[in-house]
A and B are shown apart, each in its own frame.
Chain A
Amino acid sequence: MGRAVYRLLIAVFLCLMTYGSKAAPVSVWIALSEPGGVYAEAAEALRAEVERVHPGRVEWRIANAAELRQARPEPHWVVAVGSSAQRAMQEQFADDPTPPPMLAILVPRLAFERIADVGKLRAGLQSAVYLDQPPARQLMLAQLAFPGLRSLGILLGAESRGLAPAFEKAAREQGIQLNSQVVAGDGLFPALQSLLPDVDALLAVPDPAVFNSQTAANILAAAYRRRIPMIGFSPAYTRAGALLSLYSTPAQVGTRAGEILRQAFAGRLLPPPQWPRDFVVSVNPDVSRSLELNLVESQLAQQLRLKERP
């Protein structure tokens, strides 16, 4: 009951705030975790998508989260790009009784959920376009790339353990045997040794305790020694030696966020968090050839899109 009243109050307040200002611009802050790079790329794609449909309607302010700390007046909408921007913006408006809705982008699901305010999330005042890929999509790609796939291995750490139920559910639905191994205190190699003999392919699940720039080399090399292909989650993995990777580019995430944002302009509230809709499949042609697989990036991506949205 209290929640309904709260939401109503917010809606009324927002309506009052913007009443009679149909032509008045909507103000949007885009808070970046760091200047430039992938953050700016995502922000630019978001802005381009909104401008495409509502040219000139939005008053943009794109800056580092730290620079926005003292900024006034409060915007109508906030887009936080990256985890630290999400955290900073959330703190900035923590005591605000009528905070602007905030859309976090370029954040992995686990990171978003760790930071997000459950109340605001439920109220439609916080949402996200995740950076990671839905488990079902990852497993679908594994099946497309390896038609005879019997068992898929995943290595989990303390952080990514939280994703295990979602992976298990997707695996059950797609009839894939999922073998997961938790990397515990005794280290990576024992975990790899007990996992690799039982799997046909390895799916990398982001967890800095398991997959980082130090361990990735060992995992890739150990899997390749057994001729077990690995599916990575970034272009860097494909370059480093993963057979293929599935990921969304900052621009793809930004564009999707732009669509969500402009649709939200009308309703004043944000939809629930969602996975990125567009994605890229990149194949390492040398590894593919060496493992005697004939994988074509464009075909795989196309098949995956068709399977996901027939």
Chain B
Amino acid sequence: MAKLPTLLAICCAALAAGGALAQQASATEASERDYFEDLPVVLSVSRLAQPLNEVPGAVTVIDRELIRRSGAREVADVLRLVPGFLVTRRNGANPLATYHGAQDIYGARMQVYVDGRSVYSSFYLGDTHRGLQGIVLEDIERIEVLRGSNSASYGANAFLGVVNIITRHAADSRGGMVSLTRGDKGIDDGVARVGWAAGDIHLRLTASHRRDRGLDDLHDDSLLAQAHLRADWNPRPSDEVRLNMGSMRGRFGEGTRPAATNPGNIERMIDWEDVYMNASWRRDLGDGEEVAVHASYERDAYGDRFPYATIPTVTIDNGGNGDRMELGLQHTLRLAGRDRLVWGLEWRRETAQSQPFFFSNATFSANRFRGFLNYEWRPHPQVVVNAGGLYENHNIIGDSFAPRLMANFHFATDHTLRAGMTSASRAPGLYELRGDTRFFNGAALADWTFRSSGKVKAERLLSQEIGYLGRFRSLGLTVDGRAFVERMNDRIRFAGRTGAGVPNDAVNTPGPHIHGFEYQFDWQPTATTRILLAEAHLRSASGRADEVIEAPHRSTTLTLIQQLMRGVDLSLISHATTPFSWSGTNNVLDTPRQLDARLGWAFAMGATRGEASVTVQALNGGHQEYVRANRFNRRAFATLRLDF
């Protein structure tokens, strides 16, 4: 009966509106046509993300909510939440992350993608740590980390870990956003973002600056300014076109005091510039078939020139620039049953130009051509087998092939076992292949520190793993475990320097065999509590003591996210490792334990949403960072963010 007044009102309104209106149902009035209208297929098989229990490897997904609640200011800090990742700062201006051991301080053995663009510096050692800084955390939709090596899908550099950063679709960032952070140690961050639509094209422009004074007692102030544009366009439901472009510019403190004890590394500022453009186009051809093409270009440049402290006539220069260009095609086909075949081709050209690094003004380049194929075979409804590989031709070091075989067995609903093996390779960078570093005093050679003989080969890694992924829905618990053996061969090192004037060369050395297990628990016991545990146990077998100590026996991150009341949440993150040493430092860290806390209050004022938060990093006082002498001391900062 309660319906009648509404009914009357509707009928009266309809009558009052006049017969003419009632004659013709307009397009805004509901009718049965809404129920029988045909719709284009939007989420076709090829557009859907592969469920984690079918992925040929272990994956950790960190979504924007977790990133926000972690209180992180850097992507590297977020990666602490991933089992097996080690995160440090060589100094305050150089946050970095590596997977399975502290083998390098540039993250050169892992692959980092931002919206499909591979982020690394071609001019110096394939460094990814700077690229990881070149993104605004607020733009990130989620980070998918493929633990383990995955050259079979991602090519060289996907040697130990792939970090896949996906930014928000431009249509999901409409309106404006500003965020301001102020705190200890000169922390001064700001983000401004605007999202709008021009016809069918969605656009987002983000600008940010990040500034701090780094670690105490080090000359490591940093200032990083960046701007990014993302445009998304769906000309037809079957087509997705995306364009990303941006620019980063940074000034980073470097060097030690007093100059007399380390004259070749005096306190100074390094300049960094990077510009990139990345475009992709995907077309869904129906029935699970898809074609995607992408093209990207990136250029980065470093400026770092200063006099040798004790002999001012000698100039030290670590500057240079590099660029890379990439074109790729990928074709996905759905075959009989639900089998799937993915194949693709990729061409990449990278160049480097640096007089001091190559003792030449010439531009050095490397061309890579890749073809890859993966067959996803389902011999049984409970079994998925991924078999495939990637062939790469490198114009300097020749051909390589990285095969992979992985089987996932869904032995019960929500429970999957995985086993398989893969091999990976990491091609040396241009500096390792062609580098030549000499220092002159006037016209006289003062020192010769590096000269590549060009004989260095790619590093190889053979990895075997068994894994388990289980979901206990009634408990709100997801468990992911992985045991592995990773045999690295031909590890590239710099060796041969016995004294002044005798240069190093890039050479292949045996490399460690790492084995161990890692797991992550994601438990939501109640609607207001989430507990995450990420832990890795590693053992490194090697003939070299300095290599064995690069892998901490245990690294643990325990995270608690608790909603205290409506709109108010608390996060606590504890990260600890057993003693280990970063490669080349000869410094065993013995108290790397960090406790971070964040308290956030979300509020709304009309259509404006906001959040005020306070974060304290190293709440437990402080810890050693990278080497024993560097300390990351307690620091607090407050953030105010408004979305309107």
Q: Which residues of A contact B (CB under 8 A)?
A: 33, 37-38, 82-84, 87, 106-108, 110-111, 113-118, 121, 131-132, 147-148, 150, 157-160, 162, 165, 189-190, 192-194, 206-209, 211-213, 216-218, 220-222, 224-226, 233-234, 236-237, 239-241, 247, 284, 286-287, 289-292, 294
Q: Which of A157, A160, A292 has the most CB of B within 10 A?
A: A292
Q: Within 8 Å of chain A (Cβ to Cβ): is B498?
A: no
Is the beta-carbon distance between A189 and B197 smaller than 8 angstroms? yes
Q: Within 8 Å of chain A (Cβ to Cβ): is B234?
A: yes
Q: Which of B37, B49, B473 contacts A147 (CB 8 A)?
A: B473
Is the beta-carbon distance between A240 and B40 smaller than 8 angstroms? yes
Q: Which of A118, A221, A226, A286 contacts B8 (CB 8 A)?
A: A118
Contact with A along B149-181 (1 / 0, CB 8 A): 000000000000000000001011111000000
Q: Within 8 Å of chain A (Cβ to Cβ): is B52?
A: yes
Is the beta-carbon distance between A211 and B8 smaller than 8 angstroms? no
With a CB–CB cut-off of 8 A, which chain B residues contact A87?
Answer: 22-23, 25
Q: Within 8 Å of chain A (Cβ to Cβ): is B629?
A: no
Is the beta-carbon distance between B471 and A211 smaller than 8 angstroms? no
Contact with A along B3-19 (1 / 0, CB 8 A): 00011101100100000
Q: Which of B22, B33, B47 has the most CB of A within 10 A?
A: B33
Across the two chains, which residue of chain B brings its CB closest to A292?
B51
Is the beta-carbon distance between B43 and A224 smaller than 8 angstroms? yes
Bound state CA distance, A159 and B174, in angstroms? 25
Across the two chains, which residue of chain B brings its CB closest to A188?
B171
How far apart are A47's CB and chain B's nearest CB, in angstroms? 19
Is the beta-carbon distance between A213 and B31 smaller than 8 angstroms? no
Contact (A206, B29) CB under 8 Å given A189-B171, A241-B42: no
Bound state CA distance, A234 and B37, in angstroms? 9
Bound state CA distance, A131 and B31, in angstroms? 9
With a CB–CB cut-off of 8 A, which chain B residues contact A247?
Answer: 35
How far apart are A123's CB and chain B's nearest CB, in angstroms? 14
With a CB–CB cut-off of 8 A, which chain A residues contact B234?
Answer: 217-218, 221
Contact (A236, B39) CB under 8 Å given A83-B31, A207-B30: yes
With a CB–CB cut-off of 8 A, which chain B residues contact A225?
Answer: 141, 169, 172
With a CB–CB cut-off of 8 A, which chain A residues contact B473?
Answer: 147
Contact (A82, B35) CB under 8 Å given A87-B22, A162-B6, A292-B53: no
Q: Which of A107, A211, A220 contacts B32 (CB 8 A)?
A: A107
Kindly count the residue-residue contacts between A and B in the assembled complex, taking CB atoms under 8 Å apart: 167
Is the beta-carbon distance between B30 and A290 smaller than 8 angstroms? no
Given A38-B32, A222-B171, 20 extra CB contacts under 8 A: A111-B29, A111-B31, A117-B11, A157-B28, A162-B6, A206-B34, A207-B30, A208-B28, A208-B29, A208-B31, A208-B34, A213-B37, A213-B39, A220-B42, A226-B172, A241-B41, A284-B43, A287-B43, A290-B43, A290-B50
Is the beta-carbon distance between A189 and B36 smaller than 8 angstroms? no
Bound state CA distance, A211 and B35, in angstroms? 10
Number of interface residues of B (CB under 8 A): 55
Is the beta-carbon distance between A189 and B174 smaller than 8 angstroms? yes
Across the two chains, which residue of chain B brings its CB closest to A223?
B43
Bound state CA distance, A302 and B312, in angstroms? 85
Is the beta-carbon distance between B7 and A118 smaller than 8 angstroms? yes
Bound state CA distance, A162 and B607, in angstroms? 23
With a CB–CB cut-off of 8 A, which chain B residues contact A115?
Answer: 14, 22
7 interchain residue pairs of minimum CB distance = A241-B43, A290-B48, A240-B39, A241-B42, A206-B34, A220-B42, A236-B39
Contact (A111, B10) CB under 8 Å given A189-B197, A190-B175: no
Q: Which of B6, B8, B25 contacts A111 (CB 8 A)?
A: B25
Bound state CA distance, A131 and B34, in angstroms? 10
With a CB–CB cut-off of 8 A, which chain A residues contact B169?
Answer: 221-222, 225
Contact (A287, B29) CB under 8 Å given A114-B14, A236-B37, A241-B43: no
